[in-house]
Amino acid sequence: MPGKRRWRAAWVAIGLFFFSGLCGGKDVSLVVNDVPISEAAKVLERESGYKIECWGEELKGKRVTLDLKNVPFFQALLALAKAANCGYSPARTRGYVLEPGPAYPRPTHTEGPFQFRILKIARELDFSSLLASAKPVLRLWMHVQWEPKVWVGDSRDTVHIVSAKTDQGQSLTLVTIDEGPRGSQVVRTKTSSSVSSLSQQYYIQLNPPEAAGGHLAELKGYVTLNVAELTGEIRFENPLRATNEKRAAGEAEVTLVSFTPRDGGFNAVLTFARKSSEERQPGLRASSPLSGGELVLLDDAGRTHSPQGESWTREGSSHRMGLQFAELPEGRTPAALVFRFPASPREVDVEFEFKNVPLP
């Protein structure tokens, strides 16, 4: 596959990494002994640098004990959810929320900073053809999410299935097949991304095995994503004194219209003017003003504060955005508004592999 990179451990040996900080995901330690889940979440937040929140009254009385050292971020997050018997999902703050619900006994696979989960497998009838009778299919919903430090732009709506075998040795084929690289089968069905831009789901239909039950002994394949890191950065120093200051940020020109105190906190108003479609960098999407980036406030002690609320309107080819920041700690003052944005996205094949998945 010329022009593309494979997301495999073999890159380490042959030196083909194109993101030095992205290759293996973030390793963290989570060592806590009989503490409230909220305290464990704060430990994971400090270790990872990602916002970890707890939602719901049901979680307040739960206590956890964990002894995890130098493990991938998603492994620690999943272990924390299982220990508290709760679920987790991406949040609008480009972090994660622990919330009431099942603790995901679903099959998972972690590949670098990506985590795949099989959400559901069901035997159903396909009524899509108007000229033929309903056809039995094995429907599979697969979810992929990534760490907040990773940015994924507009990606191909394809899943490449390299191998799908049952424990009886039967190979399962896709209902709709296009020939892919290396003999893989390709299904072009993807659901929309989540509002947090940290995950998306794929919907796959396989021809079912002859007998019900048993296991999917092996499911191997990959998805193709446009991936970047938030390596670009612009700063508005002393934002309280800034008015209509402009900065170039990748494919956009960002203007800090105003930054004013309000209700103990601060309001920021910015505009994002996009380049024309001919000038835009391939792979970058503009589904929101931030376009996968993040905007934070730094105080004079160097601490980072994320916005508590945001809103935007579109004005022609640009967006006007309002952000609300909470009151800073006593004695602290705003030092800079920082916008971090994705730079140099590249196509990456991210592999997944599941074994011994129960079949309906």
The structure tokens listed for 82 are 């299982």
Range(s) of the domain holding residue 250:
230-341
Of 107, 135, 155, which one is at a domain's C-terminal end?
107
Phi, psi of 232 (to 5 degrees): -85, 145
Cα distance between the two ends of the chain: 36
Phi, psi of 224 (to 5 degrees): -105, 120
Compute the distance between CA of residue 176 and CA of residue 189 in angstroms, rounded to an integer.
10
Task: Tell me if 96 is assigned to some domain.
Answer: yes
Compute the distance between CA of residue 205 and CA of residue 124 in angstroms, rounded to an integer.
10
Q: Between the CA of residue 104 and those of 86, 174, 333, what are the distances in Å?
A: 8, 26, 42
Task: Tell me if 17 is assigned to some domain.
Answer: no
Q: Burial of 334 by CB count in 10 Å (0-12 exposed, 13-18 middle, 19+ buried)?
A: buried
H or E stretch including 11?
A: helix 10-14
Per residue of the chain (360 residues), what is the pLDDT tens digit?
434 444 443 332 222 333 444 445 679 999 999 999 999 999 999 998 888 989 888 888 899 999 999 999 999 999 999 999 998 888 766 788 999 877 666 899 999 899 999 988 999 887 766 666 778 888 888 989 888 878 787 666 678 888 999 999 898 888 765 555 555 555 555 444 443 468 888 888 888 988 888 999 999 999 888 887 767 789 999 999 988 999 987 767 889 999 999 988 999 999 888 765 444 443 334 334 455 577 889 999 998 888 887 777 877 777 888 889 999 999 999 999 998 877 777 888 899 999 999 999
User: Quick one: pLDDT at residue 317?
Assistant: 73
Tell me the residue type at 85.
N
| CATH number for the domain harbouring residue 90 | 3.55.50.30
For residue 142, is it left (φ>0), alpha (ψ between -120 and 50) or beta?
beta
Q: Between the CA of residue 319 and those of 45, 120, 284, 312, 337, what are the distances in Å?
A: 31, 38, 16, 7, 18
How many domains in the chain?
2
Of 66, 86, 107, which one is at a domain's C-terminal end?
107
User: Quick one: pLDDT at residue 7?
Assistant: 45
Task: Tell me if 302 is assigned to some domain.
Answer: yes
Task: Tell me if 180 is assigned to some domain.
Answer: no
User: Quick one: pLDDT at residue 125?
Assistant: 84
Task: Tell me if 289 is assigned to some domain.
Answer: yes
Task: Tell me if 193 is assigned to some domain.
Answer: no
User: Quick one: pLDDT at residue 139?
Assistant: 87
| CATH number for the domain harbouring residue 296 | 2.60.40
User: Quick one: pLDDT at residue 325?
Assistant: 93
User: Quick one: pLDDT at residue 185?
Assistant: 57
Task: Tell me if 102 is assigned to some domain.
Answer: yes
Of 48, 78, 107, which one is at a domain's C-terminal end?
107
User: Quick one: pLDDT at residue 161?
Assistant: 87
User: Quick one: pLDDT at residue 282?
Assistant: 38
pTM over 0.85, yes/no:
no
User: Quick one: pLDDT at residue 210?
Assistant: 83
Task: Tell me if 136 is assigned to some domain.
Answer: no
